[in-house]
Amino acid sequence: MEDLDSAALERDDLEVESLPTQVLLPPPPLPPAPPTTGGDDDGEAFVPGDRVMVADGPFEGFEGKVVEVDRDRRTLRVIVKIFGGGSPAELHVSHVRRI
């Protein structure tokens, strides 16, 4: 079999089909991290009862009331006022600001 391979390599009449080439581009840069608008790094600035405005995410622009603070996870349980009622949501401290 080596004879066939070496013979095939020595032939000039073989044509190699053009294959499409791909250019590999680097991935796009990540978006910047959202600014911390609500409190310090561990979320201690928020306490239950605080009124907040959601600054990012699906509830952006809605007001709410903090009912629980999880300092370890830096999240807040918030009752968001939607269409005259309240809907519970868990939000990161960087996604809300105090009003």
- The model's pTM: 0.55
Query: Is 58 among the domain residues?
Result: yes
Task: Tell me the residue range of the domain where 86 lies.
Answer: 35-99
The CATH number for 71's domain is: 2.30.30.30
Query: Is 26 among the domain residues?
Result: no
Alpha helices, DSSP H, located in 1-99: 2-10
Number of domains in the chain: 1
Query: Is 18 among the domain residues?
Result: no
pLDDT tops 60 at residue 95: yes
pLDDT tops 90 at residue 18: no
| Contact (Cβ atoms closer than 8 angstroms) between residue 38 and residue 93 | yes
Compute the distance between CA of residue 79 and CA of residue 88 in angstroms, rounded to an integer: 4
**Residue 85, beta-bridge partner list:** 82
Query: Is 6 among the domain residues?
Result: no
